[in-house]
Structure 1
């Protein structure tokens, strides 16, 4: 029997100002099967304390125990919910938060095995076989954008959305979308151009410009609804600057509004639709 699942990785990130984090658990939900459960590492912390050497030795244990207790309460409540309520409960529980413990973006899939079996496999893959990972520049930019929206009381109107056309030919995963009655009033897609080579800068720009242009062609989105806060590379090398200017121009020609990600005032004004 096949099961539709959604899951998120539990991450331990003690230093907000650095890019290091460690996967410490997995939370999985199969709404149609009425399944909600998690696995979090609560015993083996030697790798964590050796990598994050300046941390108090009890911090990883205390942090994961706190989240485990929270998930236990959610799990108890999940037995009393229907399919749609269980999905909403999972999404609310695993929404992005700032702190020592955070959740990855929610991922989805269809599996032929039982959800509990898949949960164990995901834990083995993401936790036991993957220790410390880097937060990508784009993840860091999204977190900074989310913080600005929260500081200006705008975060509650923006939700993550995977935007597709009716035939499923194109899909854009957008962290900040404002919708009313099924219409997209504002789309905010932060994009980091912080790469070391001009080809990488142009490639990521082409990827997102072409993705949005297809959605415009399918009348899924209107160009003037889309804002792209951009993070620029520190290098002032001529070829890097030319690549950035090329991407900036391509974005403008597509009808999208590019802005400097550090321009908080402009971002807040555009987000306040």
Structure 2
């Protein structure tokens, strides 16, 4: 006999402005059986610290400890609930709220496995792989681009904080020859909703405007490295991207596709570099 199991993925999202998250747990419930089970990643989860490398590790550790306590309380409170009562209660538990730890939308499956086996399988599928590749594509782009740029210029592009009058913020790829500062921001547009796509692009366009207005950077010395699908799923996504592309170009900065390595390499090199004394190592 197969049983209905409903489940949500638990996500760690420390920076809501970027919408980047790591899967760190699973909560399941079986309405007919009247059971709620959950499983969380360890307090020391290496993949989280590797991905959010600018994050204080104690934040994740404290958050996961408190969430474990909260889920145990929910588990105890749900005892005796069944069917629609349990399903309604868990819908309220897993609804979207603000916080470092959030739930995905609830999904369902029919299975003849025990709930313990289902929990382990889901945990392995979602947390074992750990990251939503669509949302975390940008971090991989940064790492790969940095590695490539290390073979192009003697001035290392690294994460650095730049001041723009009354504000300062970090950019992932910044280099300077002590005369000129250059910065690159890879932007991935693989979002599945036009509003999310626009929010992500506008967030960085606004920051670059501050840098340009403060004359922290010249427009010629900033580059948006764009990562986008060959074709978008619907016309709204395409229109949203085109609107952002127009805004980026209107700033006067460089805008290249992330795979346009020839132009990116040309941008990354400094005029002060003596090609005769610098050997590229590809």
Q: Where does 1:109-120 land on structure 2 (aligned, <5 Å)?
A: 109-120=109-120
Q: 2:192 aligns with which of 138, 142, 145?
A: 138
- Taking a change above 3 Å as real, the CA distance of residues 133 and 100 of structure 1, as seen in their structure-2 partners, is farther
In the alignment, what sits opposite 1:101? 101
Rounded to whole Å, the distance in 2 between the matches of 1:95 and 1:10 is: 12
Q: 1:232 aligns with which of 235, 240, 251?
A: 240
Q: CA deviation at 1:107?
A: 0.7
- Taking a change above 3 Å as real, the CA distance of residues 139 and 3 of structure 1, as seen in their structure-2 partners, is farther
Alignment TM-score, normalising by the size of structure 1: 0.53
Alignment TM-score, normalising by the size of structure 2: 0.52
Rounded to whole Å, the distance in 2 between the matches of 1:143 and 1:64 is: 29
Q: Which moved more, 1:53-62 or 1:116-125?
A: 53-62
Gaps (5+ residues) in structure 1? 146-193, 206-227, 238-273
Q: Is the 8 A contact 2:13 2:101 kept in 1?
A: yes
Counterpart of 1:128 in 2: which secondary structure? Answer: coil
In the alignment, what sits opposite 1:28? 28
Q: How many pairs does the alignment contain? A: 164
Rounded to whole Å, the distance in 2 between the matches of 1:69 and 1:141 is: 35
Q: Which moved more, 1:18-27 or 1:42-51?
A: 42-51
In the alignment, what sits opposite 1:204? 234
Q: Which runs of 4 or more aligned residues in structure 1 lie more than 6 Å from their structure 2 counterparts after TM superposition?
A: 142-145, 228-231
Larger Rg: 2
